[in-house]
Amino acid sequence: MTGSRTTRILGSTLLLGAVLLFFLAFVATEPDTRIDAASGDTIGQFDAVRLMYVHVPSAIVAYTAFFVTAVGSVMVLLRRSVWWDIVAGASAEIGTVAAALTLITGSIWAKPIWNTFWRWDDVRLMTTLVLFMLSLGYLAVRRLEGTAEGRAVRSAVVGLLLIVNVIVVNRSVEWWASETLHQQSTIADVEIEDLTLFTFMYSIFFGVALYVWMLIHRFRVGWLERQFERFGLDDALAARRAEADDHPTVDAAIDSSGGNS
Q: Is residue 72 part of a domain?
A: yes
Domain range for 101 is 5-182+192-256
Handedness of CA 110, 114, 116, 118 (dihedral sign): negative
pLDDT digits (tens, 9 = 90+) for 25-84: 999 998 877 777 777 777 768 788 899 999 999 999 999 999 999 999 999 999 999 999
Q: Is residue 38 part of a domain?
A: yes
pLDDT digits (tens, 9 = 90+) for 132-190: 999 999 999 999 988 888 999 999 999 999 999 999 998 887 877 766 767 665 555 54
Q: Which of 164, 50, 56 is nearest to 172 (CA)?
A: 164
Q: Is residue 126 part of a domain?
A: yes
Q: Is residue 199 part of a domain?
A: yes
Residues 67 and 50: their CA atoms lie apart, in Å, by: 27
- Collapsing DSSP to helix, strand or coil, 34 comes out as strand
The H or E element spanning position 42 is: strand 42-46
* Number of domain units in the chain: 1
Q: Is residue 198 part of a domain?
A: yes
- Compute the chain's Rg from CA coordinates: 21
pLDDT reading at 200 higher than 90: yes
Per-residue model confidence (pLDDT) at position 187: 56
Q: Is residue 187 part of a domain?
A: no
Residues 234 and 41: their CA atoms lie apart, in Å, by: 69
Task: Characterise 89 by phi-psi region: left (phi > 0), alpha (psi -120 to 50), beta (else).
Answer: alpha
Q: Is residue 261 part of a domain?
A: no
Handedness of CA 229, 234, 235, 238 (dihedral sign): positive
In our burial notation (b when 16+ CB lie closer than 10 A, e otherwise), range 153-162 reads: bbbbebbebb
